[in-house]
């Protein structure tokens, strides 16, 4: 039995990027995982790569009926959860002057409302000692151009890691956040023109103390540490960002 052989986990946005890296790390250690996302094709490809210990459930975290269905499925497949990774998110640029109400609402519906109700709907399945990990962002604390809506949403999540911890600690459940810096997962390419993505990525490398992107695996290791090993840590945010928010 591997390091996580007796563990069950759910990962929103687990079909790609950092969520997939979390799933691969856990399944590699023997855990059983449920991954979710919006794209059936992405989820099927991820499940194929992860093997029999992974279940893929299609659903939109901004939809409460989808989250109810997810909770039912997790209960059927795994029974209870030892870890919940609230990782699904979108990162479109939100220039101050041209961001529409629709774009604002969509970003908050997925990144903030979606995260809050993911925890609310799955909390009944979390056992004593379980860990919840929210994926925030270095953008929380950096005034980067064209990110005001995204950054504000991630700052809301950072705050929730504290307040949800207060509510869930009486049940022995810790809530923490992992805060990635730039990680080249494709999330930027899908949100911008190729030229804008290249420019944005070059800027992120230039202003990072380590002069490079992080890898999905580096973020996954930190998230899994928070979920399972950080047993005296609650309401904290762990920066995995090459030092860009610290130096
Ligand atoms: P990604 O695009 O590979 O992963 C995001 C995942 O979320 C995808 O699997 C997608 O299907 C899922 N998702 C999006 N909207 C959804 C919805 N409405 N319902 C269900 N699933 C949905 O990109 P990633 O970089 O791995 O992003 C993971 C998280 O990390 C996001 O919350 C993102 O904001 C955050 N983040 C990313 C970076 C970075 O540089 N890549 C930096 C800081 C924070």
Q: Give the model's pLDDT for residue 211.
A: 97
151 Cβ closer than 6 Å to some ligand 1 atom = no
Indicate which residue of 4, 150, 201, 232 is catalytic. 150
The residue whose C-alpha atom lies closest to atom 13 belonging to ligand 1 is 88
Residue 56: partners with Cβ closer than 8 Å, 6 or more residues away: 14, 15, 34, 35, 36, 37, 43, 44, 46, 47
Tell me: pLDDT of 186 over 90.
no
Q: Give the model's pLDDT for residue 167.
A: 98
Residue 33 has which token pair?
Answer: 């995982």
Indicate which residue of 4, 154, 201, 232 is catalytic. 154
Q: What strand order describes the sheet that includes 32-37?
A: 54-58, 32-37, 8-12, 81-86, 126-135, 174-180, 237-240
Confidence of residue 67 (pLDDT cuts 50, 70, 90): very high
Confidence of residue 188 (pLDDT cuts 50, 70, 90): confident
> What's the fold here for domain 8-186+216-239?
Rossmann fold (3.40.50)
- What is the tens place of the pLDDT at every residue in 155-176? 999 999 999 999 999 999 999 9
Q: Give the model's pLDDT for residue 190.
A: 80
Confidence of residue 150 (pLDDT cuts 50, 70, 90): very high
Cβ-count burial of 221 within 10 angstroms (0-12 exposed, 13-18 middle, 19+ buried)?
middle
* CA of 196 relative to ligand 1 center, distance in Å: 19
Confidence of residue 192 (pLDDT cuts 50, 70, 90): confident
Whole-model pTM: value is: 0.97
Identify which of 91, 184, 207 to mutate to test ligand 1's pocket (most ligand atoms within 8 A of the CB): 91
Q: Give the model's pLDDT for residue 138.
A: 97
Q: Average pLDDT for residues 54-74, to the nearest whole number?
A: 98
Per-domain residue ranges of the chain? 8-186+216-239
Tell me: pLDDT of 1 over 80.
no
Q: Give the model's pLDDT for residue 68.
A: 98
Contact indicator for 242, 210 with CB cutoff of 8 Å: yes
Q: Give the model's pLDDT for residue 189.
A: 84
* CA of 71 relative to ligand 1 center, distance in Å: 20
- What is the tens place of the pLDDT at every residue in 92-131? 999 999 999 999 999 999 999 999 999 999 999 999 999 9
Query: Which ligand 1 atom is at minimum distance from the Cα of 188?
Result: 41
Cα–Cα distance measured from residue 143 to residue 139, given in angstroms and rounded to the nearest whole number: 7
Q: Would the CA dihedral through 221, 231, 243, 9 be positive or negative?
A: positive
Is 7 among the residues known to form the active site?
no
Q: Give the model's pLDDT for residue 191.
A: 79
């Amino acid at each position: 039995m591997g390091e996580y052989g007796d563990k069950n986990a759910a990962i929103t946005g687990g079909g790609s990027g950092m969520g997939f890296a979390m799933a691969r790390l856990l399944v590699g250690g023997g855990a059983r995982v449920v991954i979710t996302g919006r794209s059936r094709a992405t989820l099927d490809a991820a499940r194929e790569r992860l093997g029999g210990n992974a279940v893929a459930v299609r659903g939109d975290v901004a939809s409460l009926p989808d989250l109810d269905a997810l909770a039912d499925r997790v209960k059927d497949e795994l029974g209870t959860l030892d870890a919940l990774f609230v990782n699904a998110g979108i990162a479109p640029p939100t220039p101050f002057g041209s961001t529409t109400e629709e774009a604002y609402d969509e970003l908050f519906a997925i990144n903030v409302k979606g995260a809050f109700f993911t925890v609310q709907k799955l909390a009944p399945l979390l056992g004593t000692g379980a860990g919840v990990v929210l994926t925030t962002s270095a953008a929380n604390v950096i005034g980067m151009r064209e990110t005001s809506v995204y950054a504000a949403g991630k700052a809301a999540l950072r705050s929730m890691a504290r307040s949800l911890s207060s509510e869930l600690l009486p049940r022995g459940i810790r809530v923490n956040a992992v805060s990635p810096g730039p990680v080249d997962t494709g999330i930027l390419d899908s949100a911008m023109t190729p030229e804008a993505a290249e420019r944005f990525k070059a800027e992120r490398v230039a202003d990072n103390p380590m002069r490079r992107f992080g890898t999905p695996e580096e973020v996954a290791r930190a998230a899994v540490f928070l979920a399972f090993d950080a047993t005296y840590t609650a309401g904290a945010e762990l920066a995995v960002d090459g030092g860009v928010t610290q130096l």
